[in-house]
Chains A and B, each alone.
Chain A
Amino acid sequence: MYQITKAEKLADKIFLMDVKAERVAKSCQPGQFIIVKMDEKGERIPLTICDYNREEGLVTIVFQIVGASTERMSKLQAGDSFQDFVGPLGVASEFVEEDVEELKGKKILFVAGGVGAAPVYPQVKWMHEHGIDVDVIVGSKTKDMLILENEMREVAGNLYITTDDGSYERKGMVTEVIKDLIENQGKKYDFCVAIGPMIMMKFVCLLTKQYDLHTIVSMNPIMVDGTGMCGACRVTVGDEVKFACVDGPEFDGHLVNFDEAMKRQQMYKTQEGRAMLKLTEGDTHKNGGCGCGGDK
């Protein structure tokens, strides 16, 4: 069992938890992820590592409610436990292996959208700890949905916040900020890391391609085992089919086939929707309006 030592609601439907998982805390790196399984009947859910404390053996995870399983998970409190917590999975971010002195000479842009701020945070923190100031753009639908603002401010060189509805700081999409920085403020970058909803990553990549700005994205497809066994997470990158769990999750965004990836993400949407209805309607779920035949 893996105990939750802290559980916090960051924003509507977005939760943060610290989990005691010593092996993971000891070996994880920016860019990697974990899989949790709540209990006997639970799914294996891949989640972002937002932070880690090697001394205390704690791993911080952030997740958003997207279906019945994450809804169930959001009810867990400090003191509760996950039955299973495995990782770190995937390959660490490329820069972790690079020469720090060389990195220091580079101009780096991080772009986070929505809960994407969670996986971006440990990367920016890593940069900060290695004496590298980076520019960070954080986009959110609205002010209330913005997460990790203070944490990010502490580790970012320059932080640019934008909201879709203009309720806080800038108004507009992250792509507009990128455009502004490069075209109006004369910024030049050597590479960019963009993590967020698939559609955001797609549009960031379309834009950075115009600037010939190398862009890394982090894919979050459907997964089961997370160790390369099932192939559910396959992503087309250039001419190759890659498994996000072992070859990624980070890839060259200019080569990723986002349209295919977005279609593949919809695979179980109907079933997820039904499960969610069943959970939220409880005993009243029997009319079959969702198409499940009323269940039994």
Chain B
Amino acid sequence: MDVMKKVPVREQDPKVRATNFEEVCLGYNDEEAKAEAERCLKCKNAQCRKGCPVSINIPEFIRSVQEGDNKKAYEIISEDSALPAICGRVCPQESQCEGKCVRGVKGEPISIGKLERYVADWARENGIVPEKPATTNGKKVAVIGSGPAGLTCAGELAKLGYEVTIFEALHEAGGVLVYGIPEFRLPKETVVKNEVENLKKLGVKIETNVIVSKSVTIDELFEEEGFEAVFIGSGAGLPKFMGIPGEQANGVFSANEYLTRNNLMKAFREGSDTPIARGQRVAVVGGGNVAMDAARTALRLGAKVYIVYRRSEEELPARAEEVHHAKEEGIIFELLTNPTEILVDENGWVKGMRCVRMELGEPDASGRRRPVEVPNSEFDLELDTVIMSLGTSPNPLISSTTKGLDVNKHRCIIAEEETGKTTKDGVYAGGDAVTGAATVILAMEAGKKGAKGIHEYLSNK
């Protein structure tokens, strides 16, 4: 075995997986996990831990894996993370823990994400569940939203003895973990449901079908329902469109709609009542993880799929692993390409998309080189479906109905970074609702900090 290289992880064959919704990555078995754990240098001054937003004691849990004590490994991870089976799958490890790994200086870093997933899956398969605190302190905290920020915040507070109720607007708990990230990256029935069930075992109550701001307001939660603090983790769910001609045509979807129909409503499954447009020729506009998810979903529903992105491969915001998987499965990348118009047939359906080629000019405000149009480079793609994946912004429903809760010009809730404290007394916030669309792990970090902020607030009250 080459100690400089990661133990390769088994994956479904690209040709096979392009036709199903089963998980792509199969994960490590016991031998593979131990072999990978062997590679860890167990650094005293562990850089990986500094790269982890929730500061998991990585060298220690890896040591336990190496020693074959998976239960202990799970306990170590659980001290800092409530959702390891999820993070092991969707964290951008390459820019966090693994990005700092000393092994990575000369060779490949330790496969920390795959080891975390291995431990979490082992714990689930072996029925290890977190223990409910013996007593509660009788203080009620409301958590709005059951995505990664809300789940983490609720878990932390429950462990501290608070009586936590999560209010979820949709009919199922999990937020972006259930409506956004597809089954083939994050299995819902096994992985996500289990993490949510674990929270319930900690004593957290989850009330679905409650839209805070419509069904009940934050002020009513305080005044009528006896909550002493509120954490807002309502995410960034509002889709963006380009504003180009033809965008209202039938067959143009936001990535949010396309993914929600498929992931939350299970449109891909025989027997689901929710329809989805099974296009033959689909273009996904955008280059982030959500764009990759939408493209790979359309592919699995039987389409020929293009990713249309205005910058070059280097600037693709998606994780390298996702781009790699998408290419393996046969997604066609039309890079340095920008749509200018959606072409519509006489019945109001998409028939194509006019695009223009781009080249990279001077760096813009984001530090990335600004794409500029190449003159006379227009061309048409023949399509029946266009999926816009241009990013999302926070939903203004809560901020617009809660007096004293300030937002910035991007409609993000203003909150202190270390505590999540907002401009309204007793109200804390974190995750995409505060930062705009980011990652699962950063939302978890914010959920954790929010819990700490609320604990300090209620302890001193």
Using a CB–CB distance below 8 Å, which chain A residues touch chain B?
23-24, 27, 37, 41-44, 68-69, 72, 83-89, 224-225, 227-232, 234, 236, 241, 246, 260, 263-264, 266-268, 271-272, 275, 296
The 5 closest A-B pairs by CB, nearest first: A230-B257, A263-B348, A86-B209, A84-B171, A229-B237
Verify A227–B211 contact, CB threshold 8 A. Answer: yes
CB closest chain-B residue, reference A27: B215
Verify B257–A86 contact, CB threshold 8 A. Answer: no
What's the nearest-Cβ distance from chain B to residue A89, in Å? Answer: 6
Verify A224–B260 contact, CB threshold 8 A. Answer: yes
Verify A231–B248 contact, CB threshold 8 A. Answer: no
Contact among B237, B254, B273, B395 for A43, CB-based, below 8 A: B273
Contacts of B272 in A (CB 8 A): 41
Verify B256–A88 contact, CB threshold 8 A. Answer: no
Verify A236–B248 contact, CB threshold 8 A. Answer: yes
> Given A41-B273, A84-B208, A227–B237 Cβ distance below 8 Å?
yes
Please tell me if B261 contacts chain A, counting CB pairs below 8 Å. Answer: yes
Verify A229–B395 contact, CB threshold 8 A. Answer: yes
CB closest chain-B residue, reference A229: B237
How many A-B residue pairs have C-beta atoms within 8 angstroms? Tell me: 111
Verify B275–A268 contact, CB threshold 8 A. Answer: yes
CB closest chain-B residue, reference A236: B248
Contacts of A69 in B (CB 8 A): 273
A-B contact pairs, 28 of them (CB 8 A): A23-B216, A27-B216, A42-B273, A44-B265, A44-B274, A86-B170, A87-B215, A88-B214, A225-B170, A227-B237, A227-B397, A229-B179, A229-B238, A229-B257, A230-B239, A230-B260, A231-B239, A231-B253, A231-B257, A232-B253, A234-B248, A241-B241, A241-B247, A260-B348, A263-B250, A264-B248, A268-B275, A275-B273
Please tell me if B126 contacts chain A, counting CB pairs below 8 Å. Answer: no
> Given A88-B214, A234-B248, A272–B209 Cβ distance below 8 Å?
no
**Interface of B, helix, strand, loop or mixed by DSSP:** loop
Verify A231–B171 contact, CB threshold 8 A. Answer: no
> Given A88-B215, A275-B273, A229–B256 Cβ distance below 8 Å?
yes
Contacts of B171 in A (CB 8 A): 37, 44, 83-84, 86
Verify A230–B256 contact, CB threshold 8 A. Answer: yes
Verify B241–A231 contact, CB threshold 8 A. Answer: yes
Verify A267–B237 contact, CB threshold 8 A. Answer: no
B residues 246-281 with Cβ under 8 Å of A?
247-248, 250-251, 253-254, 256-257, 260-261, 265-266, 270-275, 277
What's the nearest-Cβ distance from chain A to residue B195, in Å? Answer: 20
Best-surrounded residue of B266, B273, B275 (most CB of chain A within 10 A): B273
Verify A231–B256 contact, CB threshold 8 A. Answer: yes
Contact among B214, B238, B251, B260 for A87, CB-based, below 8 A: B214
